[in-house]
């Protein structure tokens, strides 16, 4: 599972560097994000602009990350492609998450995963 992280105006941005978030990668996705969340505090933006396919396992993994953050940290989503956005609309998860069309200009990045 390839992800990258960066600080963006006080938020931790986690970019999923995969085209699919499905049953085959959901577990490794959750583990990679858990490691990236080692430092507490900052809100988290999950950049999904490279993800073209999301199934129920992938959606469950995103929800698991939100629960992992607890009530004191927010998880927001950015860059949903049309296919992924459709899954969020159909499941009404677009009412649970704050969604952004895209990230603002990025700061310095740090690769992980």
**pTM of the entire predicted model:** 0.87
Q: What is 3-105's CATH topology?
A: Transcription Regulator spoIIAA (3.30.750)
pLDDT tens-digit series, residues 69-106:
988 888 999 999 999 999 999 999 999 999 999 986 54
Compute the distance between CA of residue 24 and CA of residue 7 in angstroms, rounded to an integer: 28
Compute the distance between CA of residue 88 and CA of residue 46 in angstroms, rounded to an integer: 14
| CB contact at 8 A, 21 and 62 | yes
DSSP 11: E
Residue 70: C-alpha distances to residues 37, 41, 64, 104 (Å): 12, 11, 10, 25
Mean pLDDT of the chain: 89
- Which residue's entry shows tokens 């006080």? 10
pLDDT tens-digit series, residues 11-24:
999 999 999 999 99
Percentage of the chain with pLDDT > 90? 74
């Amino acid at each position: 599972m390839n992800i990258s992280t960066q600080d963006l105006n006080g938020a931790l941005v986690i970019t999923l560097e995969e085209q699919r978030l499905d049953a085959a990668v959901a577990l490794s996705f959750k583990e990679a994000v858990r490691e990236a969340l080692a430092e507490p505090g900052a809100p988290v933006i999950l950049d999904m602009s490279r993800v073209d396919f999301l199934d129920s396992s992938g959606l469950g993994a995103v929800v698991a990350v939100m629960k992992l953050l607890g009530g004191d940290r927010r998880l927001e989503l950015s860059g949903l492609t049309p296919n992924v956005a459709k899954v969020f609309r159909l499941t009404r998860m677009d009412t649970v998450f704050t969604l952004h069309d895209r990230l603002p200009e990025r700061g310095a990045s740090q690769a992980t995963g």
